[in-house]
Structure 1
Amino acid sequence: MSEPSPVEDLATYLRHLKNKTGRSYDALAKRLGVGKSTLHRYCSGEGVPPRFTLLEQFAKECQATQPEIIELHQRWVRAQSTELSEAEPPAEHPAEAPSSSSSSAEPDSPVPAKGLREYLPIPRKGRTWWTLAGMAILVIGGVLIWRPGPTYRADAESSPACTDRNGVKHVDAREGGHVWTRDFVCVNLPDTPLYVDVNSTEKIAVLDTPKSWFICWELGRVQADGGRIWYYTRGDRSEPGKERWQGWGYVGAEDVTAPTHPVPNMPRCAGR
């Protein structure tokens, strides 16, 4: 019998952690702020998360111990390396390390110079561009200590610019029917979630298309890549039970491509 692939090995360990809790995919997905199908895909070996952050949160929700989180991270590194070798030419994208209550880490990197769409046509599961590099791991007295090295970024000049449009008409139900006459069209990752506000994890809608328009930007909660820029727009479809927002919400800049964040000349939501 052949050995399981690193991706299958990771999925097996994820199921092991999940089964210890007796909790459903739906319950865990809601706690993590992702779709049930997304979580099930990772646990069935159909994909590998682009960042370890989600799996670390998953493990904590499953009440995993620190050794189990470290073991999970090691399996994720092997699986991610396999995914990258199949998806693109060889390149160095060192893996990020799990956090620890006893860890000592440098501050997060500043907001990235661009979103992640520039790496298409590599699918979403292949995004590891904000993984931490140059990582030094020491075990002293049984305590894991890690320090992230420099962050890898693509050249901002290669990122497609957003198109500034005037004379458009977007009727905003959240703003009492206010009509927006200016927007900015940018490339974004499909299946991008919209949240009710910049500090919330309540998902209310989804952007299905790979290019969308955005009205303004605001600072909010930190995203997985360390950025805090959020863009206001209207999703392509509302989440079940969230129809009252009519799709209007906020998208993280990590899923929007631009030469810089916030998008040049785009107004700030708080000052509009």
Structure 2
Amino acid sequence: MGTKTERRPAPRAACGRKAWTAALLSLGILAVGAPAVVAEPAGGSGSAATCGLRNQRHQDNLGNSFTVDLYCDNLATDVLGRSAFNAPVTGRLKLSPSWFVCWTEGEAPPGQTKIWYYTQGDEVVTQPGLKAWGVVPARVVQTPRHPYPGIPRCAWV
């Protein structure tokens, strides 16, 4: 759940054209060889989306235990403290795929689903005691249906 660091080439004035080209190529190679990917829409790469249930245990910092998760491709997004768009940002989902342990209902723009998924973000933003746990709107979870069949409803609803 750490932050990603990015290597940057020296400023253009400090190196020649060949060094600059080599630096850019190095960054491209590093980005391609990275084990985790920045979230992208499911249809963007032409490959099949990852999505399914797993028997995976998780426990949040509040003592809630979960025995199954939904492991799916997702868009990068803020993780919120409650299922409302004006809620505090507790963390960020930066990588895809991610896991989600339950669903609840909350705010939704007109024409969109009211489903939200509970997860732990890849990066803590505020309220460090929550360790980036919170909810994300269903539109960022790349599933064919919301809520995904088999994922439990969050117990506190």
Q: TM-score, normalising length from structure 1?
A: 0.39
Change (3 A) 1:224 1:196: farther
Other-structure match for 2:143: 258
Indicate whether 1:204 and 2:109 are aligned. Answer: no
Change (3 A) 1:271 1:173: closer
Aligned residues: 117
**Aligned 8 A contact 2:68 2:151 in 1:** no
Which of 215, 229, 247 is matched with 2:132 structurally?
247
Aligned equivalents of 1:212, 1:171: Cα separation in 2: 15
Aligned equivalents of 1:224, 1:203: Cα separation in 2: 22
Bigger relative contact order, structure 1 or 2 (CA pairs below 8 A, ≥6 apart): 2
Aligned equivalents of 1:232, 1:252: Cα separation in 2: 9
1:159 CA displacement = 7.2
Q: Deviations over 1:66-104 (max 9, x none)?
A: xxxxxxxxxxxxxxxxxxxxxxxxxxxxxxxxxxxxxxx
Indicate whether 1:237 and 2:126 are aligned. Answer: no
**Aligned 8 A contact 2:50 2:97 in 1:** no
1:249 CA displacement = 0.2
Within 5 A, what are the aligned runs for 1:126-141? none
Aligned equivalents of 1:186, 1:223: Cα separation in 2: 23
Aligned equivalents of 2:128, 2:72: Cα separation in 1: 25
Other-structure match for 1:42: none
Q: Deviations over 1:137-169 (max 9, x none)?
A: xxxxxxxxxxxxxxxxxxxxx974621111x22
Specify which structure has the higher proportion of helix.
1
Aligned equivalents of 1:179, 1:267: Cα separation in 2: 12
Which protein has the larger Cα radius of gyration, Structure 1 or Structure 2?
Answer: 1
List alignment gaps of at least 5 residues for structure 1: 1-115, 123-157
1:254 is paired with a residue whose SS is helix
- Identity among equivalent positions (%) equals 34
Other-structure match for 2:71: 185
Q: Deviations over 1:245-272 (max 9, x none)?
A: 1111001111110011111111111478
1:265 is paired with a residue whose SS is coil
Indicate whether 1:173 and 2:61 are aligned. Answer: yes
Change (3 A) 1:211 1:224: farther
Change (3 A) 1:203 1:271: closer
Change (3 A) 1:218 1:207: same
1:179 CA displacement = 3.1
Q: TM-score, normalising length from structure 2?
A: 0.65
**Aligned 8 A contact 2:43 2:49 in 1:** no
Within 5 A, what are the aligned runs for 1:1-272? 117-121=41-45, 160=49, 162-166=51-55, 168-174=56-62, 176=63, 178-190=64-76, 192-199=77-84, 201=86, 202-223=88-109, 226-239=112-125, 241-270=126-155
Aligned equivalents of 1:226, 1:182: Cα separation in 2: 26
